[in-house]
Structures are given as structure tokens and as C-alpha cells.
Amino acid sequence: MEDLLKKPFDLKRTEFWFATVLYVFAIFFLVSRSISPERFPPSNMWDFNEHHVLYSYYSNYFIPTAIRYTVLYGSFLLLTMYVVPAFMRKERLFLNIAITVALFVVIALIFSVTDTWLRAWLISRHPDLEHFYNAIFKENFIYAFWLMMMFAFYSVIKYAASYILLNSNKIPSRHQSTSRECAVALVVWMIIMLMLMGSNAPSEVIGCWGVIALYSIAFYWFSITELIPAIGQRPKRLKAYMLKALGLVLLSSVAILAITLSAGALQVFDDDFGFPLTLFNAAFQVLIVAPFAWVVYNRRLSVNAELYQLKTALGRSTADLQFLQSQINPHFLFNSLNTLYGTALQEKSERTANGIQKLGDMMRFMIHENHQESILLAREVEYLRNYIELQELRTQSTPTIRVETSIEDILDNKKIAPMLLIPFVENAFKHGISLSEPSWIKISLLTNEKELYFDVYNSIHPRTSEDPEKDHSGIGLENVKQRLALLYPKRHKLIIRETAKEFFIHLTVEF
């Protein structure tokens, strides 16, 4: 299917091989039937025997039917591979119109001639042979015109299906697979329909294929895209779906019965053909197509869930990669911090010692808890407070810098993905603090039974060349957005507002 989407001309290849397989199968069927025509008598043999006319399987069935198959097969390939594509490209219009007209005449003439062999028993009933031949030629010219109209209808279906296949990315993702399948199925349905009509198959066979197969395609598409999703997660989903499917089939069966009865009145079918066709179609849809659509839909849900889990795991690994890459040997790091902490105490630098202690607590959090899928919200808040207090050590001596926090204590066992809040605070201190201009940061965190509300509001200042963080981008808001989308799909709301002087984020996360 992917090759068909990438290479439009593969549809021609599909048409060619499908038509060729049908043609070879039809010829094989004729040859195999010739071994014992009495055991599998052709439909016209009874007419010859009834009118006591000598019947030859080869002269009165095999040869004319094989010629019809060959003409129909060749005409299909000529129109499909050459004429219609040229029409679509608006190339050699007059030549292709002439080819189409000539093909129509050739089909009508060849079908007329072969019809005289297939229905030779009628000659004994028509003393006026001229009238007999005129009637046959007239009938087959009308039949050839009908075939050309059916092929035109097929071309419309084919190019509509091609458009769906080539533009499947514009279709809602939940409908893409089903739309592609139904588009291909329509093309196959129409090819078989043309072959049945060209082979002069019984009208009942054409009617069954035309009604049941086309209805199955439409019902399959509607079931997967509308009927099953509308059930939702209610109890006894399968029972609810089957009841809806049964009601829909019964309702549409009224229209099918009316159409088939009208066709019977026009002598297209036998008068009593409409009822069994409608009944069989209803049973086929309810017992075969509806359960099949249910299985396919749920199988796709399972596959999509597995893909989503893999995507989530991959996204989480990518999002956390910067943390893992930034870690150095923890033993060396903690030994170094302990040395600096002891030195600061010896020199009576309490602020420095306090800062080193908080940095050590933060690093332990990153190494021991950051790799987990979720942690207690209280631990995330503790890390957040350590980071803010560590930053305040370098800003509290500057009166023009104002940091306001309103972070409530977390007493319950709510959990959250680790390192989800700190990037917003890091961003605020990175871009919102200036030692030479008035600066301010406001941080608020509130929770209720179901949600967390987190606000960060800060001033914005350009980075100076002396700033040691000037060339460091940090974790980045895009990284956080990716994590939120993967970890809390449809369970979070992130609002970001930015002006030349201010930056504001509001995050809501559902537990």
C-alpha cells in the first residue's frame, strides 16, 4: 500500500495484473469445462436442446465466448493504459476520441457476430433472417454503449480512488487506513463488474455482485468510521454495535428491495429475485461484514495502543537524554561537593555551605528519581524549592530583584512526571533576572483533588555578554511541550503569553 501511495503508476500495474488474472481464469474455466460439457452444461445448451437444434460446445459456446473475453480484456487494457490517461492529460484528444468511437463499433460488431453463434437456435424461430440479424446488431450496439458507460463510471471511481490514495494524508488519521482499503475495493469491484457484464453473465449474478459487494464496501467503511466509534466505552459494546448494525441493514434493505423489485418489473431480473437477494444481503452484512469490521476496528485499536506506548517510551527517552548526557560520575561529583561544603563551613561561609547542600540534594534527586516514570509531587516540589532558594542566594543582595513564591505544601500521595515543572522556573531565572535593571519573578503552585495549577510570571531581559549562561539554552520549552504531549495527552493545558518585557505561562495538569 505504501508503494501505491508513493508511486501513482502502480495502480495501473494493479489493474493490469488483476484484469489479466481474471482473463486467464475465465479462459481456464472454458477449457476445463470443455472436457465434460455435459457435466457442466453452458447456459445456452438447454435452449439448443429444447428447440432440437444441433449443439456444438466449441462452435456455439467456447469460441464465441473466448473471443468476447479477449475483446473485452484488450479493450479494457487499451482504454485503461492509453486512452483515458491521455484524456486526463488532455493529449491527442481527437485521436483518442476516434479510438474510443472505433472501439465502441468493434465491440458492438464482434459481440453481434458472436451472438449469432451463441444464439443460433433462434434462427429456426425467425423465418425473416434479416429482421433477426438487425435485432441482434441493434441489441449489441446498445449493449456496447452500456459497456462504455460502465467503463466511464469505472474511470470516475478509479480516479476518485487514486485521489484518495494519493491524498490520504489530508484525511483524518483515524480514517486513512479504512479509506484506502475501500478505495482499492471499489476499483476491484468495478473491474469484476465489467468482466461479468462483458462475459454476458446471468443478470442475477451481476445483480448479486453489484448489490452485495458494493453494499459491503459501504457498510464496512461506515461501521469503522462512524458506527463503532459512536458506541464509545459503554458496557456490552459488541451487543450495542450489532443491534445498531442490524437496524441499519434492515432499514436500508427496504430501499434495496424496492430497487430489485423495480428491476424485476423492467424484466432485468426474474420477478421473484428481489426478495432472496435482499434477504441474503441482509444476512451477509449482519453475520459476516459487521463482525469483520468489529474485529478489524479493535485490532487497529490494539496496534495503535502498542505504537503509542512505543512512541511514548521513545519520546520520554529523547526528552530525558539531555539530563542523562549532562550527568558526570556521581561519586566524583558528591565527593567534590562534600569537600566544598566542609571548606565553606571552616571559612564560616554559611550561605555558600547552604547553597552547596541544596545543590547536592538536587543532584541526588536527578540521579536517583529523575529516571522514574512518576514520583511523588511532594518530591518535585521539594526540588523546585531547592532550585529557587539556590537561585535566591545570588539575587537576595540585589534590592532591584524581587522573587515571590506561593507554593503550597503537598500532603497527599499525588504523583507527577519528574522534572516537569523546573524548566519553566529555570527559564524564568535565566531570562527574567538582571543585576542592573529592576526584575521580578512570581511563581504559584496550587492543587486540588484532580488537577495541578502552576503559574510562572517574570520580566524579560536580554542576556549580557558577561552572563555565564548566555550560551546555554537549558532544557527548553519545546522539550517540555513534547513531554507534556506524550505523558499527558488530552490531560494538560499549557498557555504561554509573551511580550517584549514580560513572559507568562499557565500549566494545568490532570492527575
Q: State how beta strands 375-376 and 451-459 pair.
A: unpaired
Range among 2-6, 324-328, 339-343, 437-441 with highest mean pLDDT value? 437-441
| CB atoms closer than 10 angstroms to residue 399 | 8
The CATH superfamily assigned to 397-510 is Histidine kinase-like ATPase, C-terminal domain (3.30.565.10)
Residue range 420-441, pLDDT digits in tens: 898 899 889 888 888 788 899 9
Share of the chain above pLDDT 70, in %: 76
| pLDDT surpasses 90 at 504 | yes
Kindly give the interhelix angle for 10-34 and 63-78, rounded to the nearest 10 degrees: 180
Residue 458: per-residue pLDDT? 94
d(CA 69, CA 30): 11
| Secondary structure of 213-258 as H, E, C letters | HHHHHHHHHHHHHHHHHHHCCCCCHHHHHHHHHHHHHHHHHHHHHH
Quote the pLDDT of residue 88: 82
Across 205-221, average pLDDT: 86
Residue 448 pLDDT exceeds 80: yes
Domain ranges for the chain: 1-199, 397-510
Over residues 93-117, mean pLDDT: 91
User: What's the residue count for the chain?
Assistant: 511
Q: Is 398 helix (H, G, I), strand (E, B) or coil?
A: coil
Which residues, listed in sequence order, are joined to residue 446 by a DSSP beta bridge? Answer: 453
Cβ–Cβ < 8 Å for 183, 165: yes
pTM of the prediction?
Answer: 0.46
Provide CB contacts within 8 A for 133, sequence distance 6+: 116
Per-residue confidence (pLDDT) for residue 474, from 0 to 100: 46
pLDDT tens digit sequence for 38-82: 777 787 788 888 877 888 888 888 999 999 999 989 998 999 888
Kindly report, residue by residue over 129-158, the tens digit of the pLDDT. Answer: 777 788 889 989 988 988 888 888 878 877
Lowest mean pLDDT across 67-76, 160-169, 235-244, 455-464: 160-169
Alpha helices by DSSP H, 84-172: 84-89, 93-118, 129-166
C-alpha cell at 416: 507527577
Report how far apart the first and last C-alpha atoms of the chain are (Å, whole number): 40
Question: Residue 478 class from Cβ within 10 Å (0-12 exposed, 13-18 middle, 19+ buried)?
Answer: exposed
Q: In 3-36, which positions are buried (b, 16+ CB within 10 angstroms) versus exposed (e)?
A: ebeeeeeebbeebeeebeebbeebbeebeebeee
> Which cell is 98 given?
476516434
Tell me the C-alpha distance between 212 and 354, whole Å.
Answer: 80
What the block records as the C-alpha cell of 480 is: 517540555
